[in-house]
Structure 1
């Protein structure tokens, strides 16, 4: 059954849908195998595992709720734990040994009438790209070990499709640059102020349904929660509370959280990302290997084959072999197209080459300088 389901997921992926439509198609394909009453999907930044997009169907949760129960409190089957532990999927009923109230997350939504929850982290080639949860009403049977095993088996196929959607333009809307936006929170995580630019940027994020107020954005709240719980002095470069987020128009943004003084207040800053910020994610989205990603980064910096060969300690022939593979995977025919169509025009609103790279945003140890 799962082999047929993987084939169906591959078929849906071949339709070249954006991630919202792709996950909707997958949910309906999975429903006959694992019945459920409601679901949610989230994309994440693979470098910092913070949310970058959100879709909820027949279940509602605020940004503050989601951030609190995923990044602040301890609980069973947090998505980041499932991804990093290799368990991939888990059901609340199983992991609380039949007592759902052992889950703080479950206790918080008892009044909504939901019972068991089946969660899965979407991991492809060891990289965490997204998360999903499937819920049943309180009067429905709990999920089984077989359900958990089936969803775990399907994770890689779903993640591969989700990864592909990162390289797909979500719409043909014109790109804009409203400048930096700022959302400020007090020590308890309550919003104090939201700038006009921040409101405009947040309205461009992929969150369905949209937040009731910009400060309730699930993406913004996850970053603020991460910034708030990082012990002072342990992240001096403030790299952990950052996420590279793609808007509906295809523009990439960098959102990062920072503490304000010593009174516990935090701020989330939103502004267009540079190619230097985004290149590692783009490389992974196209399925480039570590070595191919290194070669691609060198191309972005305009280095010829001989310089790339020297910088990466590989022969010119090996560089050319990597370039051929990169061109095949990204669908371009030249270095100019690689840099112009893939890493610049499609993924950023401007070119700003920083002096040093942001190591906290890299994944799999890819160096970009």
Structure 2
């Protein structure tokens, strides 16, 4: 039975409240699961947020409930090594970007995914790409246990209906977090992932970054997520080395996660990408942050051009002259920037991008 009526605005508010609730590791994912369960029954939830500026790669942050680490690891390995036909890029080409994997006869044939789900006690998985006219904001994965009724076409319709509320909640989660850094900067750190896809070395600086990611005072990922994420990033870097059209292995993480903007970047250390991969973890500012910052806050191209000039210290008349605009239009753009970001003035807005 398809959804006939629900309050999308209320659903978005309830999802946001669940995401913000400080319930300890895994608590937020469980809260989001409880909100969605009456609309789309499930036994496990994965909600991964991305931003249009970084494309269909790994998420900037995520929420999890009842997804076994072994299941996530196996699915990630299959995605990058086995050519999972239901990966995000494939869903992006569908009119309704959702599919069901696992049960025979549903979705593209993928026996390996069925094997992975069965080995981890799951019967089917529903996957939904979260997108709007601005781009892709993440993905939702829902599990049903082995023996339960598999997801069907009605479930896909329900998922598509709740997608916009999930996008709204994720964007609010980021934009109502800290605007500018509230945690001290750390030196860049390096993680090395070996050819056997295990982490072989972590620099002290990288360990500090990872500890901050797992801090209960921050976003509070489940303790196994950072390692799984790093291995996935290394796999993406290896894929990129063999396919120039593949996703560029850079992830930009907003301050709501660990108190300041940061990036993860992956680079194979040999030409064939068969050896070690170096992952660099560092604080980010300026041009590196600008695309993701503008995406999350809904900043238009004209407003972005004004913001870029503002970072140089230019006055309103100078910005107007450089952009061939009237001072009144520049002031309108500045008002929109302050409204969208919540900045009290130009100093706070500049600090959000430069500290």
Instruction: Normalising by structure 2, report the TM-score.
Output: 0.82
Deviation of residue 136 (structure 1)?
0.6
Contact 1:2 1:154 survives alignment (8 Å): no
Correspondence for 1:187: 195
Partner in structure 2 of residue 320 of structure 1: 331
**1:120 correspondence with 2:133:** no
Residues 1:70 and 1:318: Cα distance change in structure 2 (over 3 Å): farther
| Counterparts of residues 201-350 of structure 1 (less than 5 Å) | 201-205=209-213, 206=219, 208-211=221-224, 216-218=227-229, 220-231=230-241, 234=244, 240-246=248-254, 248-262=257-271, 263-340=274-351, 342-344=352-354, 350=355
The answer to whether the Cα contact below 8 Å between 1:54 and 1:207 also exists between their aligned partners in 2 is no
Q: 1:162 to 1:97 in 2, by over 3 A?
A: same
Query: Do residues 10 (structure 1) and 12 (structure 2) align?
Result: yes
2:189–2:203 Cα contact (<8 Å) kept? yes
Q: 1:168 to 1:217 in 2, by over 3 A?
A: farther
Distance 1:84 1:284, change over 3 A: farther
Q: Does the CA-based 8 Å contact 1:70-1:79 persist in structure 2?
A: no
Match of 2:42 among 31, 36, 40: 36
Partner Cα separation in structure 2 for residue 86 and residue 160 of structure 1: 20
Structure 1, residues 220-268: CA drift from partner, whole Å, max 9, x if none? 2222111111135948xx9911111246432221110111133532110
- Structure-1 separation of matches of 2:130 and 2:161: 10
Give the corresponding residue for 1:163: 171
Residue segments in structure 2 that go unaligned for 5+ positions in a row = 214-218
Mapped partners of 1:110, 1:153: distance in 2: 28
Q: Are the equivalent residues in 2 in contact too, given 1:246–1:253 (CA < 8 A)?
A: yes
Which residue of the other structure, out of 173, 177, 184, is the alignment partner of 1:176? Answer: 184
1:155–1:196: structure 2 CA closer, same or farther, 3 Å change rule?
A: same
Alignment check: 8 A CA contact 1:173 1:249 kept: no
Distance 1:17 1:55, change over 3 A: closer
1:59 equivalent in structure 2:
67
Distance in 2 between residues matched to 1:46 and 1:25, nearest whole Å: 26
In the comparison of the two structures, how many residue pairs are matched? Answer: 338
Measured in 2, the distance between the counterparts of 1:292 and 1:29 equals 35
**TM-score, normalised relative to structure 1:** 0.79
1:366 equivalent in structure 2: none
CA distance in 2, matches of 1:329, 1:173: 18
Residues 87 and 321 of structure 1: is their aligned pair in 2 closer, same or farther, counting only changes over 3 Å? same
Contact 2:45–2:65 (CA under 8 A) maintained in structure 1: yes
**CA drift at 1:338:** 2.2
Aligned partners of 1:44 and 1:52 also within 8 Å: yes
Q: Secondary structure at the match of 1:326?
A: helix
Contact 1:53–1:207 (CA under 8 A) maintained in structure 2 = no
Contact 1:92 1:103 (C-alpha < 8 Å) held by counterparts: no
Matches within 5 A, 1:20-99: 24-48=30-54, 49-62=57-70, 64-83=73-92, 85-92=94-101, 97-98=105-106
Question: Are 2:204 and 1:196 equivalent residues in the alignment?
Answer: yes
